[in-house]
Homo-oligomer: A and B are copies of this chain.
Amino acid sequence: LPAITRLHQVLAAIHKYPSKRVSVAVAEDPTVLEALREAREQEIGEPILVGDEPEIRRIAEEVNYDLTGVEVIQADGPVRAAECAAKLVRDERADIVMKGHLHTDDFLRAILNKETGLRSGAVMSHVFILETTHLDRLTFVTDGAMNIAPDLTQKADIILNAVYLANVFGIECPKVAIVCAIELLNPKMPATLEAAALGVMSRRRQFPNCLVGGPLALDNAVSVVAARHKRIESNVAGEADILLMPSIEAGNMLAKSFTYFAQGLTAGVLLGAAAPVVLTSRADSAEAKLYSIATAVLTANIQRHSRLKLGKVHY
């Protein structure tokens, strides 16, 4: 299959697979319900709405979302709703879980609960997918939403999650740039040392299914011209599919600046749980939310119906 290079292509890719069910924690939110209405119309997924039932029905009517045939489950308060939404996935009544109108912390606590949550043993991490107008590929940015200050081991696992997602998108051997503020090694910037370490791990074939290189600055990670300017020798420079961020702040800044300064289109998904998790932010557009749902649905389908597996780092 050719690689997906534009977010709308995710929709077509989904339609080769059976429909998926999305459990939504605290669904009583206009933009969430709009995105789900659209997801249903485009046959991307069928929701199970968890939360304050009267409020869900009231807002659904407001946004012209006909709930005929849609399961709505009453749950008292956001914590219960999140637990219930996670349980629906654990009981295989839903394939993916989505955060509605509640605090990320409350939502993630239910997902991460060791007994009742959706832990799979793998590290959980978030990936933003950026659709730039001038690049002929999507750009995967990780982790700008979950892991605050990952150490070297966590960074390696975060890379694997993103590589898996790139594989899901049909990119067989994604190029992973370890992005720092500069492309030089600077002992005062620990991120540059870890970048060098990750690059050497890749050259020693410790990472499956990808090429990893760094440290690179953002410009010479994504722009061949900038990489050439600095005469950087790297099989990743200028052509990165995946950008590993040094911190949640850097990743968040990159993704949000892309939305707010470049008016760019993004999607996002949380990987490493037993099922893909949709973790959009309130300020996201309904379109961004729709593509995030679609990305999670595609990932769930590939997890279920293909032999593609999450890789392992060789230590």
A interface, size bucket: 35 or more
Contact B253 A218 (CB under 8 A): yes
Q: Name A220's closest neighbour in chain B (CB-CB).
A: B283
Q: How far is the CB of A90 from chain B (nearest CB, A)?
A: 27
Asked if A181 lies at the interface with its beta carbon under 8 angstroms from chain B, I say: yes
Across-interface contacts of A182 in B (CB, < 8 A): 104, 252
* Given A229-B283, A248-B189, A250-B249, also A144-B256 (CB < 8 A): no
Contact B258 A144 (CB under 8 A): no
Report the separation of the CA atoms of residues A260 and B227 in the bound assembly, to the nearest whole angstrom. 12
Asked if A116 lies at the interface with its beta carbon under 8 angstroms from chain B, I say: no
Q: How far is the CB of A238 from chain B (nearest CB, A)?
A: 11
Contact B252 A181 (CB under 8 A): yes
A residues sitting closer than 8 Å to B (CB atoms) are: 103-104, 130, 132, 134, 144-145, 148, 179-182, 184, 188-189, 191, 217-220, 222-223, 225-226, 229-230, 245-254, 256-264, 281-283
Across-interface contacts of A188 in B (CB, < 8 A): 148
* Given A249-B249, A252-B181, A282-B230, also A257-B189 (CB < 8 A): no
Q: How far is the CB of A192 from chain B (nearest CB, A)?
A: 10
